[in-house]
Amino acid sequence: MALKTTVKISSVNNLSDARYCAGMGVDFMGFQLSKNAETYVDYQNFVELTGWVSGVEFVGEFTDSSEQEIIETAKQYELDYIQIQDASLIPALKPLNKKLMLKYNMEELADASAVAKEMETYKDDIAYFLFESDQGITYKTHIQEEVLKLADQYPVLFGFNLSEDNVEQLITSSIKGISLKGGEEIRPGYKDFDEMADILEALELDD
């Protein structure tokens, strides 16, 4: 299976998401590794989930973890990328020799263009800048346009205002790819994929 653009799935914490998304051909699978996070994945669960998939790069997602906690976790988990939300951590994490993603939470970003200076400062250190909504809110057109303008200069993964109706148009812009959210299983082994599946299916390449 192949998709028309690069796709990251965030907050994966169950086998249904892991196997389905890997089968659909996503590029990155993110696991929340900050212990206070609602979708936190401990080491045993991480090993079990990643053992079932192949052809995917693994992203350790950190929200409120300290510098030392991130370093210790990154040494334990087999990660391809580290995703952070605080750019000040970048110098301390560079010696780990892991590729970095810097996330901008749309719920905290009133003006997307306000982070342009920070993106310019760290453009050589960050593999992808991720603009993502944690709450699934629809943001005004001007904010979306600001992010797409930043994508003309920087490697942006777009993770908000996505639907099966607009995703093909969005990927014709300068963005490097999109980011979708995983979700909870209804019960073990049963999952309602809803909008995530609709978007992935819209991105399938024709045989």
Note the pLDDT tens digit of each residue in 66-94.
999 999 999 999 999 999 999 999 999 99
Within-domain flag for 24: yes
Within-domain flag for 207: no
Q: Which residues contact 104 (CB under 8 A, 6 or more apart)?
A: 85, 112, 115, 129, 130, 131, 132
- Is 0.75 surpassed by the pTM of this model? yes
Phi/psi for 128 (5° steps) reads -145, 140
Within-domain flag for 151: yes
Burial class (CB in 10 A: 0-12, 13-18, 19+), 12: buried
Check which CATH number belongs to the domain holding 36 and give it: 3.20.20.70
Domain containing 38 equals 6-202
pLDDT greater than 70 at residue 190: no
Which residues partner with 31 through β-bridges? 60
Within-domain flag for 95: yes
Number of domains within the chain: 1
Within-domain flag for 93: yes
Note the pLDDT tens digit of each residue in 95-138.
999 999 999 998 888 788 889 999 999 999 999 999 998 877 67
3-state secondary structure string, 86-104? CHHHHHHHHHHCCEEEEEE
Q: What are the tokens at 192?
A: 């309602």
Predicted pLDDT at 120: 97
Within-domain flag for 156: yes
Within-domain flag for 1: no
pLDDT greater than 90 at residue 139: no
